[in-house]
Chain A
Amino acid sequence: MITRYFPADALTKVVASLADERRVLIPVTQPAVKKSVIFAPFSAGMTVELHKASVAPKEAVLPQCETLLTYSKQKDAEDPSKVNLVLDDKPQAQPTIVFGCRPCDARGFAVLDRPYLDGPFIDPYYQARRKQLIVITQTCPSVGTTCFCHWVGSGPNSTTGSDIMLTAIDGGYVLEAVTEKGEALLAGMKLEDGAPFMDKAKTARGTVEAQLAPAPDLTQAQEKIAARFNDNTFWEEQTAQCLSCGACTYMCPTCYCFNITDEGDGVCKAGRRLRTWDTCMSPLFTREASGHNARMSKAQRMKNRISHKFSTYPENWGGEFSCNGCGRCINNCPVNLDIRAIVLAAINEKGA
């Protein structure tokens, strides 16, 4: 596989050169008393800094809000008594690079691909964006207090979902293609060959790898959490803190639930059908028009979220967890609810 190297001070220049032809999403620090880092398109004048983002870059394939279709009712040109319904369902997509996400973020794309591309139906909107997406992932330079990627099958150097891996070494960065898409991109970049720097990159990766605390064994999680399903007391106790907001799910690189709503013009002539992020933690998520709600209590909703990530998603999609261990749901939670603690509690006591 092709490798490339560039010196540390060329980072912004390299991103700028990529941005000539495509939208390049980079982590951008939002200045505030409480800073946050959000993926935003690179534009001239920006300086690239590769911080771990507060919000996962899933926006690149699944925007917070998108138009699924627009509709309009138009009078027939020939026969004015007739009205024709005109629908436009063309996906909005553009060639995009996600630059400098972390392996946990990149693995999110792989998790999303299964239901959106490998299921009984292919989601054309997702597919249009995914096809044009190149993911350049920074191998993690450090391990955080809420990180647990190595519990769930990922790791600070995992390549799942990435096209190119970027590793910071002393004085520069090494790029290494891991897919053909990545290889094609790297081949076109006029940068120094990375081969002489690969040893250094491997050392850097190994250093981080060595910092990881031993991971608990989650091999039985799928069955054990399924076996926990009816233990209401357990879920109620684990969920007491939860405020039922959507911070955990919206920050998550693997959460993909959505809502579909129509926004008309008020006179039923034209309008849009929107798809927006939705959260299974909201009581409204499953409330039916009749008032019936399958997941009325927050314990039921948390049970669904944890089960989906560790039990039912693996059940449907080949045993993989739909959790990447990025820890965002823990450190962005207004009450510091810890998903690791819930999963461990679910599989350690009683259980299957």
Chain B
Amino acid sequence: MAESIKTTKATGTAKKAAAKAAPKKSVAKSAAKKTSAQAATKTAEKPKTAAAAASTASPVIKEKAQAPAVHKAAQSPAVKEQAVAPAVATAAKAPAAQPAMEAAAAQPIPAKAAAQPAHNSPVAEATATPKAAAPKGRTSLKEISARPMKAGNPYTPMAATVKEVIQETGTIKTIRVVLDDPEQMAAFHYEPGQVGQLSVFGAGESTFVINTPPSCKEYLQFSVMLTGEVTNAIHKLSAGDKVGVRAPLGNFFPYEQWKGKNVVFVGGGIGMAPIRTIMLHMLEHKQDYGTISLLYGARSPRDMAFSYELESWMQNPDLDCTLCIDAPFEGWPHKVGLIPNVLTEMNPSPNNCVAVLCGPPIMIKFTVQALEKLGFTPENIVTTLEKRMKCGIGICGRCNIGGKYVCVDGPVFTWAELKELPPDM
């Protein structure tokens, strides 16, 4: 990660400009070179890196110019280095504003125009309309946390090939894909909890969490439960098939804030997928955290995904792993019972502890109740949501809960954040 952040520093300018201006790879390359030639001498020494960065989903860090956002960013791991070197943010910001300003040149920048009606033209004088709502001070960008983001045309998937398909359970398959462009694959960077839109051309795309830990550079892994048209098409894939990937999208688990704390993971059914990515990531950096425990429940042993890994998780001295199923099953050596009940029985201490859960809505509801009873505060309960999404970039209007869009403001939320939102899930 540190390596890729350095890349950002060196080529931030070029990449940002290229990303905005040129969706096509070849164009992006030339644009990147051109801009770098104009702007930064260092970049010219590393044309390969620049090109790769410009055309892939390498860590484009969106930085908020405003003070509170910077504060937020400082807490978050991906921009830690940036906070140290704020010049990077500025460098990336300036050219990014360029195309936006071009677009805005001919039209009044909305909120500003409202504040000072259209350049003192006589028309505006005649417009003695009462101002309905006072502008709230913020004029442009919607605030989002810092994160790696997909560059280029946000609707265009990267071409990828299925490497391997694993039948997890009767209804869940895990698909491992490799981006077709080796440079893209090498430069691809994401944070645990971020999602991707997996395309099967002809059927459409659906959102899934990338459930490999970011350290895995060989492939991206998605675990998919069979439910509708797209998942049906995904389940028909086999190694060698072409797919598309739009990633990374959304925010990620704030694991940097959890350093020094104990963490309890609770995964139910397919909800284990996002838990897997953050859990494996934290186990790789175990020295930074306290105890890490996992409660993974499914309806029956047959419904347990990642069954081939469970043994190693059980054996892992760094992980306190508990498995449970809903109803007794012959030969099942682990716990039996519903997740909230088993969790209550486990009785994890809420002191200096974060609970991370994911699963079906009903499980979330009762598990949160159980956690609150155990003394966990809403700030220390974290979950990741799933909603019907289309665009994945905060426009199409499907995944919003009140004013928050799960695809850009989430999918990771603390229970405290969710309580602030209308109960419209």
Contacts and interface: CB of A to CB of B under 8 A. Distances in A.
Direct interface between A and B, CB < 8 A: yes
Contact of A259 (B125, B138, B230, B396): B396
Interface in A174-196: 176, 178-182
A65 interface: no
Contacts of A117: 100, 103-104
B202 A178 contact: no
A315 interface: yes
Interface in A257-286: 257-265, 268, 271, 273, 275, 278, 280, 285-286
B130 A320 contact: no
A287 B399 CA distance: 11
Given A151-B132, A289-B229, A314-B133, A69 B149 contact: no
A160 B118 contact: yes
A335 to B, nearest CB: 23
B345 interface: no
A110 B110 CA distance: 6
A312 B402 contact: yes
A221 B132 contact: yes
B68 interface: no
Contacts of A287: 388
B337 interface: no
Interface in A105-164: 109-111, 113-125, 127, 130-131, 134-135, 139, 149-155, 157-161, 163
Interface string B102-137: 111111101101100111011111111111111111
Interface stretch (A10-18, A34-42, A48-56, A303-311): A303-311
A165 interface: yes
B126 A226 contact: no
B47 interface: no
Looking at chain A, what size class is its interface with the partner chain? 35 or more
16 contacts: A73-B201, A73-B242, A85-B244, A89-B155, A121-B154, A153-B131, A180-B105, A180-B106, A202-B126, A226-B402, A229-B402, A258-B391, A271-B202, A288-B387, A312-B400, A321-B133
Interface of B: 20, 23-24, 62, 99-100, 102-108, 110-111, 113-114, 117-119, 121-142, 144, 149, 153-157, 159, 180, 199, 201-206, 227-231, 242, 244, 361, 387-388, 390-391, 393-398, 400-403, 408, 422-425
Interface of A: 1, 68-69, 71, 73, 83-85, 87, 89-90, 109-111, 113-125, 127, 130-131, 134-135, 139, 149-155, 157-161, 163, 165, 176, 178-182, 198, 202, 205-206, 209, 215, 217-219, 221-222, 226, 229-230, 256-265, 268, 271, 273, 275, 278, 280, 285-290, 292, 294-295, 300, 304, 307-308, 311-321
